[in-house]
Amino acid sequence: MHLKNFYFKLSKNMISQHPIINKNKKKLMILDSIKKKVYHGKFNNIINILNKGDLLILNNTRVIPARIFAKKISGGKIEILIEKILNNNMVLGKIKSNKKIKINTFLIINYENNIYATIKSKYNIFYKIKFISSITVWNIIKIYGKIPLPPYIKKKIDKKNKNEYQTIYSSKYGSIASPTAGLHFDKILFKNLIKKGIKIIFITLHIGSGTFQSIKSLNIKNHKIHKEQCIVTKNVIKKIIKCKLKGNRIVAVGTSTLRALESTVFKSKYIISLKKETNIFIYPGYKYKIVDALITNFHLPCSTLIILVSSFAGYYNIMSSYRIAIKNKYKFFSYGDSMFIIHNPKAFLDKIN
């Protein structure tokens, strides 16, 4: 399966740089991938698309201010993107620098307050970094860290807009990227969904830098996703089983939620609770076992996410619907418009030339 199959041309003006504040301007494309039909609406009408008894599952992860700026003793600028906090003074992260970084390089984060770090070792594309300070790593992140917006968003996060990249229900710190399909929801919508009889529950998947990582291999099956911490509780599993037995739908909000849910049966015959890392990479040919419908944004060409939605709806359904989205000027990526996709159980049979 060749990476070029998932390429499409997208102009820069279709990439939304700001959240869509006006609810009436938030577009929603509905893709019935079984009937191969596309419908157009507004996101606040999602309540009319969801059915009483549907189980809506969201990812409650919260973005940490994982980008930290530092300097070498020579004055050279360094940017650290924290992937994972290992303990009170150690992290795993990526480093951006104009020159090659050497092990044992000493970094200055804040000279006045004695906040320093040293690079201890390297694991693949990640560095193990030890912070030297009287305060913990988490406090250093809170004081000196910046929210790491995706590279295609050019605006900067400040005190006024620091929460616009967080979902309103986020509660578990650990991600370096927001589960952006959830940005469309607000408290009023949640209240109305519950009133209609739609169940709402949460899982946790802490999104890592793999969400930004481009696929290097032309054969997508050779691509590896970095491990991400995933928590799906026994209570969530019970509610999924109960929903399925009643013939109702499991609706995942965002690709991270879908990946977490499918991880519960990825290497098992039975659905199990999870509290461990997952690196599940879903591509066409995969047979879905949990999720019946997906709420998601429009994704990058040649990304793991457009590959995932192609496996869910069918490759030809997705590429056709994206051409329609471009023609109808839908906004793409994190701050853009959204899709409601009904799973096509025969999508795994698609033959991609």
Question: What would the pLDDT profile of 43-69 be if each residue is shown by its tens digit?
Answer: 999 999 999 999 999 999 999 999 999
Question: What would the pLDDT profile of 207-217 be if each residue is shown by its tens digit?
Answer: 998 776 789 89
Compute the average pLDDT of residues 257-266.
Answer: 94
Amino acid 21: pLDDT: 79
Compute the average pLDDT of residues 160-166.
Answer: 82
**Hey, which bits of the chain come out as E strands?**
27-32, 37-42, 55-59, 61-63, 67-72, 77-85, 90-97, 106-110, 115-123, 126-132, 172-175, 199-205, 228-232, 250-253, 274-278, 293-297, 338-342
The 3-state secondary structure of 249-304, one letter per residue:
CEEEECHHHHHHHHHCCCCCCCCCCEEEEECCCCCCCCCCCCCCEEEEECCCCCCH
Compute the average pLDDT of residues 259-277.
Answer: 87
Residue with tokens 């201010």: 65
Amino acid 188: pLDDT: 95
What are the structural domains, with CATH classification, of the chain? 3-63+165-349 (3.40.1780.10), 67-144 (2.40.10.240)
Amino acid 13: pLDDT: 92
Residue with tokens 């009937």: 35
**Helix (H), strand (E) counts: the chain:** 7, 17
Compute the average pLDDT of residues 101-116.
Answer: 96
Amino acid 151: pLDDT: 81
Max mean pLDDT among 150-164, 213-227, 257-271, 318-332 falls in: 318-332
Question: What would the pLDDT profile of 281-303 be if each residue is shown by its tens digit?
Answer: 999 999 999 999 999 999 999 99
150 — pLDDT class (breaks 50, 70, 90) = confident
238: left (phi over 0), alpha (psi -120 to 50) or beta: alpha
Amino acid 146: pLDDT: 93
Burial of 23 (0-12, 13-18, 19+ CB in 10 A): middle
> Does 25 have pLDDT greater than 90?
no
The closest of 90, 101, 81 to 128, measured between CA atoms, is: 90
Amino acid 42: pLDDT: 96
58's tokens: 């969201």
Amino acid 350: pLDDT: 94
Burial of 295 (0-12, 13-18, 19+ CB in 10 A): buried
Compute the average pLDDT of residues 31-49.
Answer: 96
Strand partners, 42: 27
123 by DSSP, 3-state: which?
strand
Instruction: Name the helix (H) or strand (E) containing 321.
Output: helix 315-327
> Does 19 have pLDDT greater than 90?
no
CA angle, 175 then 178 then 183, to 5°? 150
Compute the average pLDDT of residues 246-261.
Answer: 97
> Does 160 have pLDDT greater than 80?
no
Between helix 255-263 and helix 304-313 the angle, nearest 10°, is 70
Amino acid 272: pLDDT: 85
Burial of 199 (0-12, 13-18, 19+ CB in 10 A): middle
Amino acid 266: pLDDT: 76
Q: If you average pLDDT over every residue of the chain, what do you get?
A: 94
Compute the average pLDDT of residues 12-21.
Answer: 88
Compute the average pLDDT of residues 187-191.
Answer: 96
172 or 124: which leads in pLDDT = 172
